[in-house]
Amino acid sequence: MTFTEIAAGVHVLRQPHFDVNATVVVGGEAVVVVDTLSTVGQAEELLAATRRVSPLPLVLVNTHHHFDHTFGNATLAAASPGTAIWAHEAVVTELREHPERLRREAYDECLAAHPELAEEVLAVTVVPPDRLVHSLTVLDIGGRTVTLRHLGRGHTEGDLVARVDDVDVVVAGDLVEVGAPPCFDDAYPLDWPETLAALIADTGPGTVFVPGHGAVTDAGFVRAQHAELTELAWLIRDGHLDGAPMEAVAARATFGPTQSLIAVRRGYAELAGLS
């Protein structure tokens, strides 16, 4: 794993399994860790990297409920007594009510892509967040603030973005993905463009974006991904209105055959009032 300081006191750990990012923000009184990776072992490496830059108490944030962003919660929370875990209320519901399903889904995904992680994710203790974000929460960590915002549905129902206000860094979670197509398995493809537009409107040309997966990027990339998602949403709406087969609509999308078809299915279901 690589641990890189991308702005003063803001470090990104890029985990090669699934190319997922965890972000560490150092304040004068606490350290915010945004996303906690997939396994006990990965979380222990993240904790060790964090302790190399600060001994301060931890505050955890989950950008959404997927295992590669939340399954390290137990390990990191245990390392710092009284640790708060912040997330959108939909994330709390998923992790609290469906831990067995989430472990099984994680196991299946790892078995297909990284089989060496499969048994580890199956053994994880799923710890839900204990602090809720409805739309906006500001964390004061001593000399700097981290603003948590839910801007709408997109990659999931409960996507959260974290902005380190003094250095103009936005941790976008999987609302932004670099190096691979966005994942639509739990997504809302008709809402995603509007949510990303709200994120863009709240940032500037110099904003640094930490995506959920892949390399740190800039506003130009986020605008380009917004344009692609907007095009996809219109393809879905037009196809549904015309009664076009989902496969035909997906073939015109730009996110690869598998994810494009998943997106169209979810969009059609939403337009039919089924989700």
Q: pLDDT per residue over 179-227, tens digit each? A: 999 999 999 999 999 999 999 998 989 999 999 999 999 999 999 999 9
Minimum mean pLDDT range among 99-103, 245-249, 271-275: 271-275
- In this prediction, residues 138-166 reach a mean pLDDT of 98
As a whole-number percent, the residues of the chain with pLDDT over 70 amount to: 100
For residue 2, is pLDDT > 90? no
What pLDDT is recorded for position 274? Answer: 84
For residue 101, is pLDDT > 80? yes
This prediction has a pTM of: 0.97
d(CA 95, CA 114): 22
Please report which confidence band the pLDDT of residue 37 belongs to, taking 50, 70 and 90 as the band edges: very high
Please report which confidence band the pLDDT of residue 80 belongs to, taking 50, 70 and 90 as the band edges: confident
- In this prediction, residues 88-96 reach a mean pLDDT of 98
What pLDDT is recorded for position 121? Answer: 98
- In this prediction, residues 37-65 reach a mean pLDDT of 98
For residue 44, is pLDDT > 90? yes
Report whether 24 contacts 49 (CB < 8 A). yes
- In this prediction, residues 155-179 reach a mean pLDDT of 98
Taken in order of first residue, the domains within the chain and their CATH numbers are 2-219 (3.60.15.10)
- Computed on alpha carbons and rounded to an integer, the radius of gyration of the chain in Å comes to 18
Could you tell me the CA-to-CA distances from 37 to 5, 68, 199, 243 in Å, in that order? Answer: 18, 5, 24, 41
d(CA 160, CA 152): 9
What pLDDT is recorded for position 50? Answer: 97
